Structure 1
C-alpha cells in the first residue's frame, strides 16, 4: 500500500528526527555545565549534582527501556512514540524556567523516561519497517542523523550557553514538532503471522545477547567521558569557552555521523565482530591522543578519531541484535540494549570523577584508552582462535 511505504521521504525523515532526540538529551546542555555549576555554587555538592543533571536521563533511560521493550507489543510502536515525544518536549524545556537544581534534576529524570520510549520505539519500528541490508543501511543513516543532531545540539547549546546557561533548554522544544510529524507520518507495523507462529519455538541466543550488552555497557562508560569531562578539561588546558567546548563536541559527533553514514557499505564487507574491534581500537587511539594532548587543536584530533569509532559501533550493536532475533522479540531485546548503553552513560561520571580527582583529566582519558584497546585485542584474539578451531574441525 502506497500510504504505508516505509521508503517515503516523510517516514524516513520522521524516524531520523525521532532518533536525534536521544542525543539531544545530553548534548544540548553539556557545554553549559561549568556555568550551571557556578550558578548553583551555594548548593551543597553542586559539582556532582550539576553533572548528575546531565547524566540522570541516562539512568532513567536505562531503568525504563527494558520495561518499555517488554510492553511495546501491547502498547504499540506509534502510540509509544507519540506519548514519549510529547513528554520529551515538556520535560526537556522545563529547565529554562526552573529555579531549583533539584527540580531541574527531576525534570531531567522525566526526560530520561521519555527518551527510553523514543529510542526503544524508533529502533524497534526501524527493524520492523526495513529487512536485511536495508536495515543495516538505514541504521547507519540513523546513527549518522544522531551524530549530526549531536553536532548541531552541542554547537547551538555551546553558543547559547555563552549568553545564559538556561538557553540550551529551549532546544528541547523541537520535540513538539517531532510529535506532530509522528502523528502524521508513521503507521503501526503489521504483525507477521508466519513469524508469530514460530515465536514460541524460538530460543533467544542469550549468550550472544549478553556479550553485546556487556560490550555496549563498557564502551559507553569509556566513551561518555568525552561528554562529561571534556568542557572542564578544555577549560583547564586552554581556558576554552562554552562555545569552544560545544564546537569540539560538534566536530567529534560530525566525524561519527560521517562514519555512520558509511556503515551499510562497511557491513557488506566486514562482520559484526570485526567492526566492534575496529571501533573500540579507534576510540582508544582517540582517547590516547586526548590524554597526551596539551592544546585545543590536539584535543580536536583525538575527538575526531574517537568520534569515528562511536559512529561505527552504535549502528553495529543495534543491527547485530535485530539480525539475530525475530520481530516479536526485537522490542524487548533492543530495549535491553538501550538499558545497558545508557546505564553506561549514567555510571561514567560516577566512576570517572574519583579517578579524575586523583590522577587528573589526561590520565583518566589514557586509562580509558588502555581499557578499550585491551578489549579490542582480546576480541581479536578470540575471533582468530575461534576461526582457527572451526577450520581444524
Structure 2
C-alpha cells in the first residue's frame, strides 16, 4: 500500500481542520512541564511528606510514564476505532485529569490524576499525528509536521508563561491551564473530518514497511528516547538550578522556560525548509550535537545569560528533533498500521521524559551543573555514533529528495510512484 493519504481524503484539507489539529497538538509535548514553575512551592506545601523533592518531580514526569505505557493501546485504538473518536475522547480526558490538581489535596492523589493525564496525551498525540499523516503527503506533509511540532513548542510558550504567572499566585494555579482542552474537544468534534479508508482498519497479517519492525524504526525510537531524556533535564531540573544559581522564582522560571519553547516553535515551523536536501541521519547527528552544546552551556553557566544561550540551543535541537523523527518514520509506514507505529515513537519519547529525572537523581547530589554536563556528554556521544553508523548510505535510509521531502514507499519497502 502506497504511503499516501487514504482514498477519499481531501486533496487540500480546509484551513479550519489544520488550525484545529495544530491547536490540539499544543496540548502534547510540554503537557507535564506546565506545572514546572510551581515545583519549588509544591515541595514547600508538602514538606512533611517523605521524599517530597523526588515526588514533586514525579508529579511533573509521571504523565510521561503513563504516555509510554498507554501509547501502544492508543495506537491500536487509532488504527481500529478511528482517529477522530480517540482524539475527541482523549482531549476531554486531558482537560478533566489535568485540571484535577486544582481540587486534590494529597500528593498521591495528584499523582493519580497525572497518570490519567498521561493516558490522555498518548491518545491526543498519536491520533493527531496520524491525522496529519493521513491528510498530507510528500513535502507538504513534512511542512505540516513541522508546523505541528511548532504548535507543540508554542504550547510550551503559552502554557509555561501562564503557568509561571499562576504559580506566582498559588502552586495550584498552573493546573487551571489544562481546562483549556475542554472547549477544544468540542472544536475537534465539529471541525475535523476523518478521511475515508480504502479498507477496514483491522490488523493485517502484514507488517510495517514489509517487516514486523524495521531496523530504521528501532533506531528512530532510540533517538527519540535519548533526545527527550536530555531535553527533559530542563523542565525537571532548571527551576531548582535557577533558584540556586541566581535566586530566580516561579514567575522568572516560567518565562525563562517559555523562551526556550519560543525558539523550539520557531525552528519547528521552519523544519520543512531547514531539512530540505539533507540526509536524515546527517541532520539527526547535527540535532544531537546542538542539544549537547546547549546542555554543556547550562552546566558551565556562571549566570542566567549563559543559561539563556544554552536554552536557545536546546530549543533549536528539540525544534528539529520532533518533526524530523516523525517525518523519517511516517514516510516508511503504511497507513493501516500508522497509528501503531506512531505510538512506538510516542512511547519512546515520553519514556525518555519519565526516566530523565530518575537517571539524574544520583548526579543531583553532586550539583545540578553535573546533571547538565552528563546530559551534554550523552547527547554528543549519540551525535558521533549516528554520524559514524550512517556514514555509508543504506538503501533503506536513502532519501534522494532529502529529509524534508522523503521518497514515499509502499508496504513492501519499494519506492512508490
TM score, norm. by length of structure 2: 0.89
Deviation at 1:318, TM superposition (A): 0.9
Gap runs ≥5 in structure 1: none
CA distance in 2, matches of 1:343, 1:77: 23
Would you say 1:372 and 2:366 are equivalent positions? Answer: no
CA distance in 2, matches of 1:30, 1:290: 18
CA distance in 1, matches of 2:70, 2:200: 30
Per the alignment, residue 296 of structure 1 pairs with 304
Q: CA offsets per residue over residues 75-131 of structure 1, 9 Å max, x none?
A: 111000111011111000110111111111100000001111000111111110111
The answer as to whether partners of 2:9 and 2:135 remain within 8 angstroms in 1 is no
The answer as to whether partners of 1:195 and 1:326 remain within 8 angstroms in 2 is no
Deviation at 1:4, TM superposition (A): 5.2
Per the alignment, residue 90 of structure 1 pairs with 96
CA distance in 2, matches of 1:320, 1:33: 35
1:139 paired residue among 131, 141, 145: 145
Per the alignment, residue 411 of structure 2 pairs with none
Q: How does 1:59-98 map to 2 (within 5 A)?
A: 59-98=65-104
Per the alignment, residue 106 of structure 2 pairs with 100
2:388 paired residue among 377, 381, 387: 381
CA distance in 1, matches of 2:200, 2:110: 48
Per the alignment, residue 256 of structure 2 pairs with 248
**Structure 1 pair 190/154, CA: closer, same or farther in 2 (3 Å)?**
same
Deviation at 1:383, TM superposition (A): 2.5
Q: CA offsets per residue over residues 341-372 of structure 1, 9 Å max, x none?
A: 00010111111011111x21112101111111
Query: CA RMSD of the aligned region, Å?
Result: 2.2
Deviation at 1:6, TM superposition (A): 5.0
CA distance in 1, matches of 2:135, 2:89: 20
CA distance in 2, matches of 1:97, 1:199: 47
CA distance in 1, matches of 2:172, 2:201: 49
2:240 paired residue among 202, 226, 232: 232
Per the alignment, residue 263 of structure 1 pairs with 271
The answer as to whether partners of 1:6 and 1:12 remain within 8 angstroms in 2 is no
CA distance in 2, matches of 1:104, 1:70: 28
| Structure 2 SS opposite 1:384 | coil
| Structure 1 SS opposite 2:383 | helix
Would you say how many aligned residue pairs link Structure 1 and Structure 2? 387
2:185 paired residue among 179, 185, 189: 179
Q: CA offsets per residue over residues 51-95 of structure 1, 9 Å max, x none?
A: 111101000000010111123222111000111011111000110
The list of structure 1 runs, each at least 4 consecutive aligned residues, that deviate by more than 4 angstroms after superposition, is 1-6, 193-199
CA distance in 2, matches of 1:82, 1:92: 15
Worse-superposed segment, 109-118 or 202-211: 202-211
**Structure 1 pair 196/40, CA: closer, same or farther in 2 (3 Å)?**
closer
From the two aligned structures, give the one with the greater helix fraction: 1
TM score, norm. by length of structure 1: 0.94
Deviation at 1:384, TM superposition (A): 2.4
The answer as to whether partners of 2:66 and 2:115 remain within 8 angstroms in 1 is yes
Would you say 1:286 and 2:294 are equivalent positions? Answer: yes
**Structure 1 pair 337/160, CA: closer, same or farther in 2 (3 Å)?**
same
CA distance in 1, matches of 2:273, 2:71: 29
The answer as to whether partners of 1:258 and 1:311 remain within 8 angstroms in 2 is yes
Gap runs ≥5 in structure 2: 1-6, 398-417
